Structure 1
Amino acid sequence: MKKEKVIPIDSLDLVDLYIRVSTTEQALEGYSVAEQEHRLRQYCAAMGHRIHKVHIDAGFSGASLDRPGIKETIKDVQKHLVRRVIVWKLDRLSRSQKDTLIMLEDVFLENGCDFISMMESFDTSTSFGRAIVGILAAFAQLERENIKERTMMGRQARLAKGHYNGSRPPLGYSFIPGSNDLQVDPYQAAIVREIFKLFLSGISINAIARKMEEKYPTVRTWNNTMIRRTLKNPVYIGKVNDNGILRDGIHEPLISEIDFQMANAILVHNSKIKKQSCRSRSLLTGLLYCGDCGARMHPRRIARGYPLRRYVCYSVSRTSKSMIKSDHCTNRLHPYTQEELEQIIIDEIKKLAADEDYISEVIRNSSAEAPVDDTELFQERIEELNRQTDKLLNLYQIGAIELDQIQERLAALKQERESLTAAMKESQTKTDINMDHLKIMSYASAFQVALESGDPEYTNSIIRLLIDKIVVLNEDIEIHWTFC
C-alpha cells in the first residue's frame, strides 16, 4: 500500500516566495526584485500566510531550471518545510512549458504543496488550478509528439543523404568526433575483412566465431549471431539502410560488392539446406536426388546385419511418407555403395583443385541455363492488380456496386498481389555466385584439407560451396555445380 505523505504541522501555514528576474526584463518591463517581493509580501499579509523564506534568482533566464534559487525552493518542498510556493507571475517559475509542468506535477503536487501565481490567480489548491495543470500536460504531450516527429524527419533526411544512423558504430568503424558519421577504424576494419575472407574460403560461422574469440576477445562478444550480422551488414559496401531501402552512404566501404554478394549468396544457399546435412555423418546427404521421381536420397543398409550402405531414393525405401514423390519409382538398380558414390564425388572435386583446364571443360559441358529475371513481369502484373483494385473501389465509392459484391474479388486480388510481391523479393535476393577459376580451385583445395582434418561440419560446408545437387539414376551420375 502506498504511504500518504505526512506534512509537518509547523509547515501548514508556511510559504516560500520565489522571485526571478533577468537583466533585460528588469530594464524593459520593470520586473525588479524589490517590486516583486513587495507585492508578494502584501499578498501574504492579506491572505494570512507566514513566509518561510524568500528565494531569489537575479539575472537568470527562465529557459532552464539550472538556477540556485529554484533549487533551494525545490529542496524546501521536498522536505515538506512549506505548504505553498507563491510567485508573482507564472513565467517567473519558468518560461519552458515542459519545465513548468514538471515543477507542478513532479515537485509541488507530488509533495502535497500548492502553487500560487498571484497575477493569473492560479492556485493548484482549487479545481480550476488543477484543470489548468491537465491542460498544460496535454500541450506538453503534443510538444513531445512534435519533437518525436521532427526527430524522425531529421533521421530520414540524414539517411537520404547517406549519413549513418545508429547509437553505436558497427564493427570496423568509429564515429567522427561530434557527429554520427562513420570513419574507418583500421584495426577493426582488418577484423571485418578477415571474417569475410574466412567465410569465403569455406570456414563455418561457428569456426569463425571461435577464431575471433581466441584472437580478439576484447573487441566484441563473439558468437554466431555476431558473425552472421557482420556478413549481412550492407554498411561494409558503403550503404546505409533506410527502412529496407539501401542508399549510398558517405562513409568508406570495407568490402568489395562482389565479396559481399558472394558471402550473402552462400548464406542463402546454406539456409535452404539447413543443418540436416551438416548433422549427418553422410557426406552427400541433402545433395542427392533421384533421377526418376525427383525425391531425395538417403543412406541405408543394403540388408539387415550387412555392414555396407548405399544411398536409396525415399520413394523406394518408403521410410518417410512426406519424402515420397512417386509410387512407381524405377531407380532401384544403381550399383554404388555409399562409400563408392562418395569417392566418385571426392575424385571429381580433386580434379578441380589440380587442373584448371578441367574446370573450363566442366563449365563448357554444363547444360545449366542462366536464371531468368522475372522481376519486370512481376512488377507489371502487380501494377495491373493495383489498377483492378482501384477500379473496384471507385465503383463502390460512387455507389455503382455494393461492398459485398466486390469483397471476394478484392481478397483474391490482394492474395495474388502478396504472392507476387514475395516471389519478386525472392527473385531479387537470388544472387549469381559465378566464381572465377582461382576461387573454384581454392574451394576444391580447402575441401581436401577439410577431409583430412576429419571435421564433418567443415567438409559439408565446403562441398556445398561447389555442388548444388547430384542426380543419380541407376548407374548414371550428374553433378550440378554451383559455378555453372
Structure 2
Amino acid sequence: MKNEYYSTVALYLRVSTREQAINGYSIHAQENKLKRYLKDQKIKYDDLIIFADEGFSAGSTNRPDFLRMEEAIKNDQIDLVLATKLDRISREPVDLELFFRVCQLHHTDVAAITGEIKIDTANGRFVTGILSLISKWERETTKERTFDTLVEICEDGLFPYGYTPYGYKKTNKKLFIDETTSQIVKEIFSCAESGNPLELISKKIKILYDTRIRSDRIGTILSKEYYYGKFVYGGKSYYNIFPAIISKDTFCNAQAVRKKRYHAIQNKNFYFCNQLRCTCGSILCRRLTKKKNKRYYYYYCPECKKRINQDRVIEELLPDLLRHADHKSLSKELKYYRRKHKYLSDRIERLYEDYIGGQIDGQVYAFTLSKLSADRDSILKKINLKCSIGFSDFYVMTNEARYELMETYVSHVVIDLKLMVIVKIAMK
C-alpha cells in the first residue's frame, strides 16, 4: 500500500463505550492514528472523508455514518476505506463478508492498519475472515465470562453493579436500606397508588423532603421491581439481594393506576383521572356514550357494574372544591351554608366508615345516608343561590381548565354507586 494514490480515502472511526475511549480507542485517537499512517506510508489522495460512529456497537451495521459510507461506496465515491482494526467495521463475519462484497463490486479497497490487512488479494481475504472469527470468539467469550462472574455475585446475595440504587446504601456490594431516601421511595409509590401524576409527585417530594427528583426519574423508580425485593438477572429472579422497601401489592397497585393513567382517554371533557373510587375499593373507569348526537360522560365500576354521570359528581363535589380553593369573597351567610355542607359531608364520611367497620348494619346505613344526603342537597340548593359567582366561574372555564382544577385540588372521591352519593372527599 506504500506510495499508492487514491482519489478519495474514507477513514472509518467507531467507539462503543466509555471504557474503550479510556483505553485509547476514542474517535480522536483513531483519527490521529489513521492520518499518521497515511503520512508514514506516503499514501497520496485528493479527498479525505471521515465517517465516525460514536457510541455504537460492532454487533450491528445499523449505524448512521457506516450506512452513509456504504451508500457512498455504492455510488463509486470512495476508493479506499481505512480503519485502525477490522473490528471497528464489524465483529460479525457475515456482516464483514457482505461489506467486502460491496467494496469489491465497486472497486473499493479496505484496509486495517493493525497488521496491514487488506482484501485486494486472496490471502488478505482469507486472513481477514480468520481474524473476524477470532474477534467474534473473543467478544462472546468475554461476555460469557462477565455473565458467569455476575451470576456468582448474585448467588452470593450481592449487588453485581457498581452504582447504588436510590433508597439503598451499599457496603462491599451488600445492599442495606437507607432510612432517609427509602422514606422518599415509599412516598413516591404511595402518591402513584393514589393516582397522582409524576409532575405532582415531584412537587410533593420537594415540599415534604426538600429534595428535587425529576418526574422522569420518578417514573424510573416506579418501574423497578427490586423495591419489593425482586431482582432479575440473566432471566433468573433473586430475592436475597434487595431488602424490600415496599410490599408487592403496593408495587402492583401503583403499576395498575399508572397504566390506567397512560391509557386514559385523552379527552379533556372528562375532568377526573383515577380520582373517583367505588365503595368496593375499585378505581372508576371512564366511559363515553353517545345518544342522539349528544355525548354523555360516565365513571364506571368494573366490579359493581354500575356507573355515575360526571355532571352528578360535579354537582356534589363543587361546593367542597370551591371551599378548599379558599375563595375569600364569601358572604357571612354563604360561609355558614358551606360550613353546614362540610358538616353533613363529614357526617356521611363517618357513617360510611362505621358501615365498612361493621358498627352499623346495611339498613341503618342506607336510611341514615338517605336522610343526610337529602339535607346536604337542600343546603346545596341554598349555596347555589348564594354563590352563583363562584359556580359560574367554574362553568365558564374551558374543559382543560376544569381538568387541571381537579388535578390540582382533588386527591380522591369515594362514591356509593348503589345510592349515587359521594361518601368521602379527600382534597390535596
TM-score, normalised relative to structure 2? 0.42
In proportion to residue count, which structure has more strand?
2
TM-score w.r.t. length of structure 1? 0.38
Specify the structure having the higher radius of gyration (Cα): 1
